[in-house]
Structure 1
Amino acid sequence: MRNRIVCTAVAAAGLIALTTGSASAADPAARDASQSCGSVKLTGELPAPPAGMAVQQEVTMGEDCELVTGPVKFVPLAKSKAPAGIVAAAQAGTTKQLRSWNEMFDCCNIRMTGLYTDSTWTSDGSKVTTAATTPRQEWNREPWNAGWNLKSATNKNDCVTDCTVVNSEAHADFTYKGIFDTSGNTYANTHHSYIQLKADGTSSCRFEVQNRNTFIGWNWQRGCA
Structure 2
Amino acid sequence: MKNNELLKKVEKVGYGIFTFFFWYLVIGFFLKSDYPIYEQPFNRADAYEVLKDGITLSAYILAPAIAVVLFSDWREEHASVKNEKISMEVRSLLNSTYLNMITLPSIRDEQQFYESIKRHFQYMVELGILEKDITTYDELSTKYMNKLEIINNLNYECWANLQKDYYQSKDESFNTNVLGLSRQYIAKATELKKLADDLQPLIVQPN
Q: Which band: TM-score by shorter chain?
A: under 0.3
Q: Larger radius of gyration, structure 1 or 2?
A: 2
TM-score, L = length of structure 1: 0.22
- Bigger helix share: 2
